[in-house]
Amino acid sequence: MKKAVSLAVVGATGLVGRTMLRVLEEREIPLSDLSLFASPQSKGKTLVFRGKPHEIQTLEDGARAADYALFALRNRLAAEWVPQFRNAGTVVIDNSSYFRMHNGVPLVVPEVNEHALKHHSGLIANPNCTAAIASVALAPLHRAFRLSRLILSTYQSVSGTGQRALEELEKETANSTYPPQIYPRPVAFNLFPQIGDFNAAGLCVEEQKISEELQKILDAPELSVTVTTVRVPVRVGHSLSIFAEFEKDIALTEANELLRRAPGLVLMEGQEYATPLGCEGRDEVFAGRLRQVPRNQKALLLWVVGDNLRKGAATNAVQILEKLIEK
Ligand SMILES: NC(=O)c1ccc[n+]([C@@H]2O[C@H](COP(=O)([O-])OP(=O)(O)OC[C@H]3O[C@@H](n4cnc5c(N)ncnc54)[C@H](OP(=O)(O)O)[C@@H]3O)[C@@H](O)[C@H]2O)c1
């Protein structure tokens, strides 16, 4: 039996925070105490957890000491507040991208690199939603055949940007002249190949994050990863079209068998494939349309979908917590 721990959920009212509370309930994580934090706007409001109302505190007012904290704040706030919880002896699992590439901070997807948890020093980073989803499908193939090159095109939902972006999608859908405030272009009835600002090399922030985070999670620093990230008018669920090339020749039957047995993955076989609507609310990653590349024995194509709020954020964070409690 797992021991009960005290837990802080920081950013509890946001899309990821609320999903973390749901996942904590579903997975029956034993808690001796739960404290919830959000912005001053939410101070004094309550969220119901396991049938009981819990009052929301601000970071300035609340005590920072708990055994563990699940953080779901924007980067700037995470940079300011994660160290304060760590200094109070709390082990933090952080959803922001701020610490992910820092040396000594494990970036963990439990199905892929649980071993990295052995070396944490009070902070574990939860990966980018798309990188986490992709890694679950790629890791079993990488272990068997060693990836040498990835070319990814992503189709990322609006909930990936948080609550206010979902509200923007609703408003644009109801009124085609509503001026976008969150995104650089209207997202309703549209899509655009830009997630975050562009750097001097022409990559947007999300493309860079997915490349470097996949290299870190898969422990493949030399892996060539090329990404084009596209925002699409889907509420929940990120999809990817993946071209994966390996060092060795790869047989489709063997790849199918590996994915059939892969933890956290559902393989859709034959003509089946997953859609974001079909994956919403599911913790697993879905892979389908697995096929060989013509005239290239070393490469495969596949279609991968996952719920960005679950495996891309909340479920993965709670799985990390489960692993830490078990240790
Ligand atoms: N959405 C995804 O699919 C996803 C996936 C992976 C990682 N992430 C990362 O997870 C983090 C949270 O994302 P989200 O989508 O949940 O965002 P969100 O829906 O916008 O929620 C943001 C949360 O931050 C809280 N907050 C804002 N200012 C605060 C302050 N001054 N003090 C304390 N709390 C404050 C908000 O509280 P109020 O409600 O009181 O304003 C809310 O609880 C981000 O770093 C994001 O990049 C998100």
Query: Which residues, in sequence order, are bridge partners of residue 229?
Result: 154
d(CA 209, ligand 1 centre) in Å: 18
Q: Whose CA is nearest to atom 17 of ligand 1?
A: 162
> Is the pLDDT assigned to residue 65 strictly greater than 90?
no
Q: Are residues 113 and 141 in the same domain?
A: no
Q: Are residues 69 and 218 in the same domain?
A: no
Tell me the CA end-to-end span of the chain in Å, nearest whole number: 12
Q: pLDDT digit string (tens) for 267-291?
A: 999 889 999 999 999 999 999 999 9
pLDDT (0 to 100) of residue 270: 81
- Burial string for 220-230 (b: 16+ CB within 10 Å, else e) reads beebebebbbb
Ligand 1 neighbour 162 (Cβ under 6 A): yes
pLDDT tens string 304-322: 999 999 999 999 999 999 9
pLDDT digits (tens, 9 = 90+) for 39-54: 999 999 999 999 999 9
Average pLDDT score over residue span 174-199: 97
Domain that holds residue 11: 5-127+313-326
Specify the CATH number for the domain of residue 152: 3.30.360.10
pLDDT in tens, 136-179: 999 999 999 999 999 999 999 999 999 999 999 999 999 999 99
Quote the mean pLDDT of the chain: 97
Does ligand 1 lie within 6 Å of residue 160's CB atom?
A: yes
Which residue out of 10, 13, 124, 133 has the highest number of ligand 1 atoms within 8 Å of its CB and is therefore the one to mutate?
13
Same-domain status, 54 and 80: yes
pLDDT for 109-129, tens place per residue?
999 999 999 989 999 999 999
User: What pLDDT sits at residue 100?
Assistant: 98
256 and 194 share one domain: yes
Read off φ and ψ for residue 126, nearest 5 degrees.
-95, 130
Identify whether residues 155 and 232 lie together within a single domain: yes
* Share of residues in the chain with pLDDT > 90 (%): 96
To the query of whether residue 120 is one of the catalytic residues in this protein, the response is no
How does DSSP assign 55-82, residue by residue? Answer: EEE-TTTS----SEEEE---HHHHHHHH
Backbone phi and psi for residue 253, each to the nearest 5 degrees, phi listed first: -60, -40
Chain centre distance of CA 163: 16
Secondary structure letter of residue 272 according to DSSP: -
Whether residue 90 is found in the same domain as residue 239: no
| Residue 129 annotated in active site | yes
Q: Of residues 120, 129, 142, 279, which has the active-site annotation?
A: 129
The per-residue pLDDT for 271 is 83
If asked whether residues 163 and 276 sit together in one domain, one would say yes
Question: Has residue 1 got a pLDDT over 60?
Answer: no
Domain identity same for 141 and 100: no
- The answer to whether residue 62 scores a pLDDT higher than 90 is no
Mean pLDDT over residues 220-245, rounded?
98
Same structural domain, 137 and 273:
yes
Q: Which whole number is the average pLDDT over 18-38?
A: 97
The pLDDT, as a whole number, for residue 277 is: 98
Pair 122, 195 in one domain: no
Residues 159 and 274 in one domain: yes
| pLDDT higher than 80, residue 2 | no
Give me the CATH number covering residue 39: 3.40.50.720
Tally the domains of the chain.
Answer: 2
- Is 90 exceeded by the pLDDT of residue 208? yes
69, β-bridge pairs? 8, 92
**20-38 b/e with 16+ CB inside 10 Å = b?**
bbbbbeeeebebeebbbbb
76/148 same-domain check = no
